[in-house]
Every structure is written in structure tokens, then in C-alpha cells.
Amino acid sequence: SFAGLVTFRRYERGDLVAAVPDDRLLVETDSPYLAPVPHRGKRNEPAFVAKVVERVAAYRGQEAAFVGKLTERNARIFYALPD
């Protein structure tokens, strides 16, 4: 699972983000800590997960909307939530 760290300028493991299979990819916020850029230094909140999704999508060469739907599906499967 990837969190706000992937948005930091000095994050150097984009290769790992890109290597995760689609069906294993998850994102999170680590709230209330490690807010993503541009909210770094502020209290983190669940709404900021969109910034994580955007950065993950960029590393993977995918659209943010696709990654958002993909990670939502994966989270539903992981937590055994209904569709």
C-alpha cells in the first residue's frame, strides 16, 4: 500500500510503485500523519488520498481515474466489502 510518501520530492522508489500488479495495488493516507504534497506539514485526512492516487498513477503511466477505481475495487476485495 502506498501513502503520502510517494508524493514527496525525494521519494526514490517509483520503480516499486510501477511494479506492483494491478490486482495488488492499494493506497492510503496514514492519517493523521505524512500528508501528501501539497498538504505536507498539515494534519492528514482521508480526502487527501486523491493526491496519493494522482502520484501513483503518474509513476505507473496510468490515468488517475483508472487507479482510483482500481484501488477502490482492490480495497473492497481486501476488506471483503460488498460492491
Helices (H) then strands (E): counts for the chain: 3, 0
pLDDT value at 75 more than 90: yes
Give the single-character DSSP code of 36. P
Cell of 70: 482500481
3 state DSSP class of 27:
strand
pLDDT value at 83 more than 90: no
pTM of the predicted model over 0.85: yes
pLDDT in tens, 40-72: 999 999 999 999 999 999 999 999 999 999 999
Do residues 26 and 75 make contact, with C-beta atoms less than 8 angstroms apart? Answer: yes
3 state DSSP class of 10:
coil
pLDDT in tens, 3-25: 999 999 999 999 999 999 999 99
